[in-house]
Amino acid sequence: MAVAGLPQLDQIQTPGYTVGIVTAMWNQEICDQLHARAKATAKQAGAKVIEVRVPGALELPVVAQKLARTCDAVVALGCVIRGGTPHFDYVCDSVTQGLTRVALDAETPVGNGVLTCNEQQQAVDRAGFEDSQEDKGAEATLAALYSAKALNALPG
């Protein structure tokens, strides 16, 4: 569990901010939980939420790009579980590069909450269920909102 250094909700109050949450529908149970946790966290921070669903992880970057034009922060959520072919590697690499490019090009923080897991149980353990060890939907939202506040505090 890697949460050292993660900002806490009480450090990130963002009334007046808008966060776009784009969530894949593939691996629905996991993605729905990630989405619910991200939305709840954004609302607890005082941010307005715009919600968008897309079929799979590969569609996340293009929608994140559109959201980044009008939102203070974006959160991308999905779940890719390794199968028996190299497709997993291509999808994970494409999504990561795409979301990074969106953040840099738009100068808008993009919280990457796309789980890349070897098996279903790893996804469950990271999705923020009551018995999960981690809460990646909330963590991606906290990171994006914290970074948005940091960017807004910089001159120019």
Active site residues: 87
Q: CA-CA distance, 39 to 85, in Å (whole number)? A: 33
63 is in an annotated binding site: no
21 is in an annotated binding site: no
107 is in an annotated binding site: no
130 is in an annotated binding site: no
83 is in an annotated binding site: no
80 is in an annotated binding site: yes
Give the distance, in angstroms, between the CA of residue 26 and the centroid of all CA atoms in the same chain: 15
85 is in an annotated binding site: yes
Angle at 41 between CA 38 and CA 45, to 5 degrees: 140
- In sequence order, what E strands does the chain have? 18-24, 48-54, 73-81, 110-117
Long-range contacts (CB closer than 8 Å, 24 or more residues apart) made by 89-93: 91/56, 91/57, 91/58, 92/57, 92/116
- Known binding-site residues for (2S)-2-hydroxy-3-oxobutyl phosphate equal 84-85, 126
- Known binding-site residues equal 26, 57-59, 79-81, 84-85, 112, 126
- Known binding-site residues for 5-amino-6-(D-ribitylamino)uracil equal 26, 57-59, 79-81, 112
